[in-house]
Structures are given as C-alpha cells and as structure tokens.
Structure 1
Amino acid sequence: MLKTYSEQTLVRDLVNDFPKTADVFKSVRIDFCCGGATPIAEAAATGGVDLGVLMANLTEVIEKSSNGEDDMKVWIDSDSNTIIDHVISEYHNPLREEFLNLSPYVTKVSRVHGGHRPELLKVYELYYELKKEMLEHVAKEEETVFPLIKQLDDNTVEDRDGALNYIKELEAEHDHAGAILKQLRDITSDFIPPADACGTYRLVYKRLEMLEAQTFMHVHLENNILFPRYF
C-alpha cells in the first residue's frame, strides 16, 4: 500500500490503494483505467481540472476510507485464478445480461425520438459498436487469454511471448472500449437527458452510465492489477 501520495502519484496506483478515489476521478472525467498510468497532476492538467481542488477531494475520500482497507486491496493480494473467477462472475456474466436487456430500449428510443434528437442516432450506433466489441472481447478472454494466464502461472505455457501479445491485444481493446464510452458520455452531455425526456429515454441514459462505471472497474482490475503481473 502507498505510504504517501502526491500530485505525482499515478492515478491507477491511487485507485489501487484507495478504490473510492475512482469516484472522484470519474466525477471530473479523469480516466483511471486505460489512462491510469498518468501522474495525477498531468491528468488534471490535460483535463482542465483544478489540481488543488482535486487533491483536496481525493484526500477527503481517502481519510474516510479507513486508510484504504477496502475491496481493491483484496484483489491486489489475491491470486490470478481468484481474480479471473471474480471478473467472469461479477463483470462478464452481468455484462452479457445487461446488453441483452438494454438493447431493446436503446433501439426503441432511437427509433421513436431520433428524428428530433439526432444525438440518439449516434448513441444507437456507438452502443451497438460497444456491444459487439465487448461481447467478442469477453469471449476471447474466457476462451483464450484467461487459460493462457493460468498456464503462465503454472509455467506450462508453450509460447510465453505469444501469450503476452494476447494480453497486449486485450489492453488495446480496452482502450477502444474506453474511447467509445467517452464518445457516449460526450454525445449525451454526461448522460443527462433533456427535461422533456420520457421514462425509457431516461432509463437508457442511466443504464449507459452504469454500464460505463462497471466497464471502468472491470478494465481497471485487469489492466492495473491482473495483467501487469506478467510483464
């Protein structure tokens, strides 16, 4: 665990030790998963965020989180098989279910309101791009990469470089998913529906924001805790 932290601490390292700081970073649109290997000061400058206010907010959250003794610490200390099982049960399976359930609402809202709300046509396009990519991505993890990671742990892998290249591919796919989510947040004005939006419209925006949050934590667990063990 970090004994101290500063403006030069990497975003991902702070979130690893103090997971609730993820909410602070998310609130000012600082990427803590794919872009987490960035010092806090640099991330703030890039995003036009007041560094003093950011550090004060981070400190407040850290002081309330009992010195960071919470869920992410468990995963830092867990073996890779345990993390993989957690990712599948808590992120992959719910992701598949959410895409199944959310898709009809996204389609309906785009069809009914897209004529006078053209941003919804873009939401439809981005959502289905994200759905396709993420479903292919989690299948690749479960069918190919996670078994290779277990072989890396057991020292039974036949092609270590090939296995590491697969992991790098996953990281690149994470970056692309993050870029799609950023576009969705931009096009929806931070997932805030217009005042006259119907219930289904509001539901879509709320669940897209929840999907973003779950994806960020999923990617953070892999990019910043699981995958670095093998490089």
Structure 2
Amino acid sequence: MITKEMTVAKAIQDNPEIIQILSDENIDYCCGGNRPLATALEEKKLDVDSFINLLNRQKKNVNVTENPLDLSKKDLIAYIVKTHHVPELKWIDEMDKSLQKLINVHYENHGKELSDVYDTFLSIKADLIPHFAKEEQREFPDFTAGNDVDFSELEREHEHVGNMLKSLAEKTNNYTAPADGCATYQFTFKQLKDLQDDIHNHIFLENSILFVK
C-alpha cells in the first residue's frame, strides 16, 4: 500500500503501474525518485490524501513475467541495455530525421519554434550517446565486478538530460502540435513524448533501483 511517508521511488516499487499517473501530472520520478511523495504532490498543488487514494486504486499488473524491480544487479543491467539503451539510440536517430523533415516542410509557419526544438533535441542526443557508451563499457562492468563506481557523476548527467527534457516539453507545448500541424507533425511530437517517457523510466531504473543495489 502506498503512503504519503514513502519516497516517490518507493511508491513506484510498490506498484509500477502508477508511473503513467505520475507522468500525467508532470511529477518528476526519474531524477526525483528519492524525494518524499507528499512533497512532490504538494509542489504540484495536488491534494495529498486524495491523490494517494487514486494511486492505491490503480490495479497492479499481476501478469508481468519480468519485473525489472525484482532483477539482480547483473540482470537489471542487461535489461536496461536491451530495453532502453539499444531502442533509444535507434529512436533518437529516427527522430533526428523526422525533425529535419518537419523543419523543411513547415519552416514558413513554424521555423523558429521547430529550430529551437531541434537544437534541444540535438543537445539531448549529444549527451546520451557518450553517456550510454560510458555506462556500457566502463561503469556497468565495474559495478558488476564489485568495483567502486561514482554514481554521483552518472546522476548529475541524468539530471542534466532530465532538465533538457523539461525544456523540450516546454518548447513543444507539452508535445502538442499547432492547430495547422499535419498528421506527420502530430505523430512526430507524439514520438518525442514517448521517447521522453522511456528516458524517464530508464533514468528511474538506474537512479532509484540499480544504483542502490
């Protein structure tokens, strides 16, 4: 049962299905997992008791065959690489091409805002590619071997990406296409939102689960 005394991370560990509810309210669970749940809700001006009741009404998925929260250190690392690193790198390349196309087609009416979106996206891409390589080639193997790893450095990098994602959400009006945006415009922004959510889940798994094992 979720209580207001829990941290955001502990609440998610109690029931991972609440992540979508937290995301809908823009509650930071990826880099802010160690914060008290009550504090996070109060900052969003939500009624703490009512919202926690809502979280507790969310049914748990009893049919999950592989819950990453229950995996060993080694298996969780393999899960993160397979489920997040590899798909996100592919996703980023695809989004790069889609955003370039969007700028070319809609430059006349939306060139300024799309250029700002693309600049922020490229900054996220430039951070994530070497970050993933560092984790996979150095930090994760050291951690699995029982060697000391500077998690604070990785957490700072996660926080930087998290801040850029917040900026991306602001620049896209929370990934809402303009009224004159075509179907491709709408789909591209939806893909950006889905990428953001996947990165949030990914960072949560590392900061709040893997790094404390």
TM-score calculated relative to the size of structure 1: 0.85
Q: Aligned-pair distance for 1:198? A: 1.2
- Is 1:35 the counterpart of 2:32? The answer is yes
In the other structure, the counterpart of 2:159 is 175
Contact map agreement 1:18 1:70 (CA 8 A) in 2? no
Gaps of 5+ in 2: none
Q: Aligned-pair distance for 1:72? A: 10
SS in 2 for 1:197: coil
1:147 maps to which of 141, 147, 162: 141
1:134 maps to which of 128, 131, 143: 128
- One-letter code aligned to 2:182: C
- Is 1:7 the counterpart of 2:4? The answer is yes
- One-letter code aligned to 1:131: K
Which consecutive aligned stretches of 4+ in structure 1 deviate over 6 angstroms post-superposition? none
Q: Aligned-pair distance for 1:114? A: 4.0
Aligned mates of 1:137, 1:59 — CA distance in 2: 36
Gaps of 5+ in 1: none
Q: Aligned-pair distance for 1:71? A: 4.9
Q: Aligned-pair distance for 1:112? A: 3.2
1:16 maps to which of 9, 13, 35: 13
Aligned mates of 1:42, 1:120 — CA distance in 2: 35
- Is 1:99 the counterpart of 2:99? The answer is no
Structure with more contact order per residue of length (Cα contacts < 8 Å, sep ≥ 6): 2
Q: Deviations over 1:97-120 (max 9, x none)?
A: 111211111112123324432322
Contact map agreement 1:17 1:73 (CA 8 A) in 2? no
* Counterparts of residues 1-231 of structure 1 (less than 5 Å): 4-61=1-58, 64-65=59-60, 69=62, 71=64, 74-117=67-110, 118-152=112-146, 157=147, 160=148, 163=149, 165=150, 167-229=151-213
- One-letter code aligned to 1:179: N
- One-letter code aligned to 2:160: H
Change in Cα spacing, 1:220 to 1:109, as seen in structure 2 (3 Å) is: same
RMSD between aligned residues: 1.9
How many equivalent pairs are there?
212
